[in-house]
Chains A and B, each alone.
Chain A
Amino acid sequence: MRRVPWSGLAVLAAFVIVWEAWARTRGELAAFFPPASRVLATLWQLLASGELAEHTLATLRRFAQGYALAAALSVGAGLCLGLWRPLYNLLEPLIELLRPMPSPATIPIAILFLGIGDEMKVAVTVYACSWPILLNTIDGVRSVDRVLFATAATFRLTPWARFWKVVLPAASPQIVTGLRVSLAIALILVVTSEMVVSNDGLGYYVLESQRTFQMPQMYAAVVALGMIGYVLNRLFLALDTWAMAWHKGLTRREDL
Chain B
Amino acid sequence: MNWRESRWTGVAFLILLALLWEAAGRGGWVHKLLFPPASAILSTFWDLLLSGEILRQLGVSLWRAAMGYALAAVVAVALGVAMGYWRRIYEACEILIELLRAVPPPAVIPLAMVFLGIGDALKVFIIFFACFFPILINTIDGVRGADPVLIRTARTFGLSRLQTVWKVILPVAGPSIMTGLRIATAIALILTVISEMIGATSGIGYFILGSQRTLNITQMYAGILMLALTGYAINRAFLLVDARLMAWHKGLTRRGE
Q: Which residues of A contact B (CB under 8 A)?
A: 5, 7-12, 15, 32-33, 85-86, 89-94, 96-98, 100-109, 111-113, 184, 187-188, 191-192, 195-196, 202-203, 206-207, 209-211, 215, 218-219, 221-222, 225-230, 232-233, 256
Most chain A CB inside 10 Å of its own CB: which residue of B3, B91, B103, B223: B103
A219–B111 CB distance below 8 A: yes
Residues of B213-249 contacting chain A, CB below 8 A: 217, 220-221, 223-224, 227-228, 231-232, 234-235
Specify which chain A residues have a CB less than 8 angstroms from the CB of B209 in the assembled complex: 107-108, 196
Q: Which residues of B contact A232 (CB under 8 A)?
A: 102
Which residue in chain A gives the minimum CB-CB distance to B204? A105
Q: B38 within 8 Å of A by Cβ?
A: no
Residues on B with C-beta less than 8 A from A104 are 190, 193-194, 197, 205
Q: B224 contacts A227, CB within 8 Å?
A: no
Bound CA span A102–B234, Å: 12
Q: Is B29 an interface residue (CB 8 A)?
A: no
| Besides A8-B92, A218-B111, 19 new A-B residue pairs in contact (Cβ under 8 A), listed by A number | A7-B88, A12-B99, A89-B5, A90-B9, A92-B7, A94-B17, A100-B232, A100-B235, A105-B208, A105-B227, A105-B228, A106-B224, A188-B105, A192-B197, A218-B114, A221-B107, A226-B107, A230-B98, A233-B102
- Cβ B104 vs Cβ A100 within 8 A: no
9 contacts between A and B (CB under 8 A): A5-B91, A12-B96, A90-B9, A100-B228, A104-B194, A191-B106, A206-B107, A222-B103, A226-B103
Are B103 and A103 in contact, CB atoms less than 8 angstroms apart?
Answer: no
User: In the complex, what residue of chain A is closest to B11 when comparing beta carbons?
Assistant: A93
Contact indicator A8/B231 (Cβ below 8 Å): no
Min CB–CB distance B26 → chain A (angstroms): 19
A102 touching B107 in the complex, CB below 8 Å, given contacts A89-B7, A196-B209: no
Question: Is there an interface contact between B96 and A32, defined as CB atoms closer than 8 Å?
Answer: no
B166 within 8 A of A: no
CA separation between A111 and B100, bound complex, in Å?
31
Asked if B110 is an interface residue, CB under 8 A from chain A, the answer is yes
Complex alpha-carbon distance, A96 and B7, angstroms: 13
Contact residues of A: prevailing secondary structure: helix
CA distance A188 to B108 in the complex (A): 11
Q: Which residues of A contact B3 (CB under 8 A)?
A: 86
The verdict on B256 contacting chain A, using a C-beta distance below 8 Å, is no
Classify chain B: how many residues form its interface, as a range. Answer: 35 or more
Cross-chain contact B11 with A32 (CB below 8 angstroms): no
Output the nearest chain B residue to A194 by Cβ-Cβ distance: B106
Which residues of chain B have a CB within 8 Å of any CB of chain A?
3-7, 9-11, 13-14, 17, 34, 88, 91-96, 98-111, 113-115, 148, 186, 189-190, 192-194, 197-198, 205, 208-209, 211-212, 217, 220-221, 223-224, 227-228, 231-232, 234-235
Tell me whether B193 and A102 are in contact (CB under 8 A).
yes
Contact for A97 among B91, B148, B211, B228, CB less than 8 A: B228
Could you say which residues of chain B place their CB within 8 Å of the CB of A191? 104, 106-107
Given contacts A12-B96, A89-B9, contact A222 B231 (CB under 8 A): no
Question: How many angstroms between the C-alpha atoms of A187 and B148 in the bound complex?
Answer: 38
Given A10-B92, A104-B197, A196-B209, do A113 and B34 touch, yes or no (CB 8 Å)?
yes
Nearest B residue to A229 by beta-carbon distance? B102
| Contact present for A112 and B95 (CB under 8 Å) | no
Contact (Cβ within 8 A) B110 A209: yes
Instruction: Tell me, rounded to whole Å, the shortest Cβ–Cβ distance linking B47 to chain A.
Output: 20
Are B4 and A86 interface neighbours, CB within 8 A?
yes
Q: Are A11 and B95 in contact (CB under 8 A)?
A: yes
Known: A12-B96, A112-B212. A94 touches B13 (CB 8 A): yes
Q: Which of A12, A206, A225, A233 contacts B95 (CB 8 A)?
A: A12
Please name the residue on chain A nearest to B102 by beta carbon: A229
Q: A210: which of B103, B104, B113 is its contact (CB, 8 Å)?
A: B113
Do B111 and A102 touch across chains, with their CB atoms under 8 A apart?
A: no
Task: From B10, B94, B189, B223, name the one whose CB has the most chain A CB atoms within 10 angstroms.
Answer: B10
Residue pair A108, B14 in contact (C-beta under 8 Å): no
- Contact between chains at B198 and A196 (CB < 8 Å): yes
Known contacts: A108-B212, A196-B209, A210-B111. The answer to whether A93 contacts B92 by CB under 8 A is no
B10 CB contacts on chain A under 8 angstroms:
89-94
The smallest beta-carbon distance between B79 and chain A, in angstroms, is 13
- Asked if B14 and A195 sit within 8 Å, CB to CB, the answer is no
Q: Which of A94, A101, A188 contacts B106 (CB 8 A)?
A: A188
Q: How far is the CA of A209 from the CA of B110 in the complex (A)?
A: 9
